[in-house]
C-alpha cells in the first residue's frame, strides 16, 4: 500500500468551487445598503405595492398533516429567539372557494400560534399540499424596524394578556 495520496480532478474542482464561493461572498458583503433598498423598491413597483418578503433557510418546519402533533406542542419544543420569524404558508388550488379555505386554514394556525404566544405572518399562495409553519431568521430588522417588536414578543411570550401592551409598544415605536 502506498502512503502517497493521489489528487484527482474532483479535488481541483472542489478547490475552484470554494474559491468562487469566497469571491462571491466577499463581493456581496461589500454591496452598499442602497443596493438592497433599491432592489426592494423595484420589487414593490413591479408587484403593485407588494414587496418581497425576506426568506432564509428554515430552522424548523411543521407540516399540518394528519397525525401531526398540535401546533402549540410543536412550538413549545422550539428555541426562542427574537430574530426568528414564524411564517404560516397555506396553498390553494383552482376551485373558486379554495383560496377562502386556504385563508381559513392559515387563520386557524395563526390563532393556535397566538395562543402559544407567537406572532406570525401568513402567506397564501397557489399550489398543492398541506399548510406549513416555518421558523427561520426572516424577521425584518432594516433600520432597527422590528427590533421593538422582537423585544416585546420575547417579553410577552406565553401570555395573551399582554396584547394591549404589545400594541401600545408597537405604536410607540412606529411599527403598528
pTM of the model: 0.52
Per-residue pLDDT tens digits for 110-126: 999 988 888 888 999 99
The share of the chain scoring above pLDDT 90, in percent, equals 30
The dihedrals phi and psi of 37, each to the nearest 5 degrees, come to -65, -40
Joined together, the cell numbers standing for residue 168 give: 401600545
Q: What is the pLDDT of residue 63?
A: 93
Highest mean pLDDT among 35-39, 115-119, 141-145, 162-166: 115-119
Distances (CA, A) of 44 to 33, 39, 47, 78, 155: 17, 9, 5, 33, 33
Higher pLDDT, 37 or 122: 122
pLDDT score, position 47: 54
Given this model, what pLDDT does residue 153 score? 45
Q: What is the mean pLDDT of residues 4-20?
A: 83
Coil/strand/helix, residue 121: strand
% the chain with pLDDT above 70:
61
Report the pLDDT averaged over residues 154-167.
Answer: 47
Q: How far apart are CA 176 and CA 171, in angstroms?
A: 5
Q: What mean pLDDT is reported for the chain?
A: 75
CATH number of 55-139: 3.30.1330
Q: Check pLDDT > 70 for residue 165.
A: no
Q: Which residues, 6+ apart, have CB-to-CB distance to 5 below 8 Å?
A: none
Task: Indicate the range of 39-43, 104-108, 157-161 predicted with least confidence.
Answer: 157-161
DSSP letters spanning 42-110: HHHHHTTT--PPP---EEEEEE--TTPPPHHHHHHTSPP-TT-EEEEEEEE-SSTTHHHHHHHHHHHHH
- Work out the average pLDDT over 163-169: 54
Q: Give domain limits for the chain.
A: 55-139, 140-176
Amino acid at each position: 500500500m502506498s502512503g502517497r495520496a493521489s489528487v484527482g480532478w474532483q479535488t481541483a474542482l472542489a478547490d475552484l468551487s470554494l474559491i468562487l464561493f469566497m469571491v462571491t461572498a466577499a463581493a456581496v458583503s461589500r454591496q452598499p445598503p442602497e443596493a438592497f433598498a433599491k432592489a426592494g423598491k423595484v420589487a414593490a413597483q413591479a408587484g403593485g405595492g407588494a414587496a418581497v418578503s425576506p426568506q432564509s433557510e428554515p430552522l424548523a418546519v411543521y407540516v399540518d398533516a394528519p397525525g401531526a402533533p398540535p401546533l402549540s406542542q410543536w412550538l413549545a419544543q422550539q428555541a426562542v429567539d427574537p430574530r426568528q420569524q414564524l411564517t404560516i404558508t397555506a396553498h390553494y388550488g383552482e376551485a373558486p372557494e379554495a383560496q377562502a379555505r386556504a385563508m381559513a386554514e392559515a387563520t386557524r394556525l395563526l390563532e393556535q400560534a397566538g395562543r402559544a404566544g407567537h406572532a406570525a405572518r401568513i402567506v397564501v399562495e397557489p399550489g398543492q399540499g398541506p399548510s406549513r409553519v416555518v421558523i427561520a431568521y426572516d424577521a425584518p430588522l432594516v433600520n432597527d424596524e422590528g427590533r421593538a417588536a422582537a423585544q416585546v414578543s420575547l417579553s410577552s411570550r406565553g401570555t395573551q394578556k399582554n396584547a394591549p401592551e404589545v400594541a401600545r409598544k408597537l405604536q410607540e415605536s412606529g411599527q403598528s
